[in-house]
Amino acid sequence: LPHEATVSAPVNIAVIKYWGKRDAGLILPTNSSLSVTLSQDHLCTRTTVCAAAEFGGDRLWLNGVEEDVTASARLCNVISTARKLRAAVEQADSAAPRLSTWGLHVCSENNFPTAAGLASSASGYAALVSALGTLFKLPQSAAELSRVARVGSGSACRSILGGFVAWQAGVEGDGSDSLAEQVAARAHWPQLQALVLVVSDRKKTVSSTAGMQTTVATSPLFAERVRNVVPRRMAVMRAAIAARDFAAFATLTMQDSNQFHAVCQDTFPPIAYMNDTSHAITNLVHAFNTAVGRVAAAYTYDAGPNAVIFALHDDMRTLVQLLTRCFPRPDSMPAAAFYEDPFAVF
């Protein structure tokens, strides 16, 4: 009989950005980062893994289309790391079926349109690792499993945990201390909401993986960020979350997004992820904050033009009205469920 497990994992949004690797093979970052894991209702990946002795080899289906497993070194790394952990389980228990030697079938689906440009490797690898953890009955904690997800995609290690999550850069060469841990549960700050604004559904021109390597090699501003800016910001961000201090959380979130994009501009050749609409959203958030006389909203952008807005519940209502008036849905954009119902509340 085949053994199988199905697990979902959500997308996470970094408020202190990960950008840069000290080891590209093991995916070890140059700096720590901190993120908010969104709820599973809106942007998540659902993955089923199935192991059977009679499966010839490993196979993978992404949103119903079969992909070549061997084409992705990262995917192979994740599967072989999980198999090693399973082998230890089998060694300790001679009655345990030898799942580590069987073929695997992996079926992965996003609950959001992939065309929306939000297809995230973070939720994908987090779901895969969580599913393998369940299938293989691995004794590892979520923090320990985050190390396995990290090998698939850096930001994926943060999606293994819910709520507010810190990824410690670590100092060890083998990556043993480079893992994610929960800073606070989602229930710690229920008034905080996240809104995803789809600005463009086009695929990004420079991948995060390639972009950050060029940054490490060429940007003097990046070196300053890693050495003198991020360590202090990690501490201030943790304190802002602990105190539920929205103004401090929002200010730092905007500043860190801005510095990340400044570092991209400082990369040679420069990388531009934000577009005119992104900048217009930035200006609108600042105008809103000025109008209400306090920091009531924050924006953040990853390696693309889409915006994520953070605000407390009551302010989010007002903001959504304002945003939908200023940025009516263009005819070219499909009326995706999450655009019609933009409360991608985390």
Task: Candidates 37, 100, 155, 267: give the one binding ligand DP6 (CB under 6 A).
Answer: 155
Closest CB to ligand DP6 among 209 and 318? 209
Closest CB to ligand DP6 among 62 and 96? 62
Concatenating the DSSP letter of every residue in 102-166 gives SEEEEEEEESS-GGGTT--HHHHHHHHHHHHHHHTT----HHHHHHHHHHH-TTHHHHTS-SEEE
Residues 6 or more apart in contact with residue 24 via CB below 8 angstroms:
213
Using rule CB under 6 A, residue 27 touches ligand DP6: yes
Closest CB to ligand DP6 among 193 and 208? 208
Using rule CB under 6 A, residue 302 touches ligand DP6: yes
Alpha-carbon distance of 297 to 69, in angstroms, equals: 42
In whole angstroms, the minimum distance from the beta carbon of 155 to ligand DP6 comes to 3
Bridge partners, 12 (sequence order): 37
Closest CB to ligand DP6 among 23 and 177? 23
CA nearest to 37, candidates 134, 149, 173, 175? 149
Using rule CB under 6 A, residue 121 touches ligand DP6: yes
Residue located via tokens 């090699």: 217
Concatenating the DSSP letter of every residue in 32-97 gives -EEEEEPPTTTSEEEEEEEEETT--S-EEEETTEEE-GGG-HHHHHHHHHHHHHHHHHHHH-TTS-
SS (H, E, C) 273-286: CCCHHHHHHHHHHH
Using rule CB under 6 A, residue 14 touches ligand DP6: yes
Residues that bind ligand DP6 (rule: CB under 6 A) add up to a total of 14
Using rule CB under 6 A, residue 208 touches ligand DP6: yes
Closest CB to ligand DP6 among 50 and 79? 79
Task: Candidates 209, 251, 255, 318: give the one binding ligand DP6 (CB under 6 A).
Answer: 209
Residue located via tokens 């939000």: 118
Task: Candidates 11, 17, 136, 175: give the one binding ligand DP6 (CB under 6 A).
Answer: 17
Using rule CB under 6 A, residue 153 touches ligand DP6: yes
Using rule CB under 6 A, residue 18 touches ligand DP6: yes
Per-residue binder mask for ligand DP6 (CB under 6 A), 161-200, x = binder: ----------------------------------------
Interface stretch with ligand DP6, choices 16-24, 58-66, 184-192, 261-269 (CB under 6 A):
16-24
Which token pair is 315? 């302010």
**Residue 94 burial (C-beta neighbours within 10 Å; 0-12, 13-18, 19+):** exposed
Closest CB to ligand DP6 among 153 and 289? 153
Residues that bind ligand DP6 (CB under 6 A): 14, 17-19, 27, 33, 121, 153-155, 208-209, 302-303
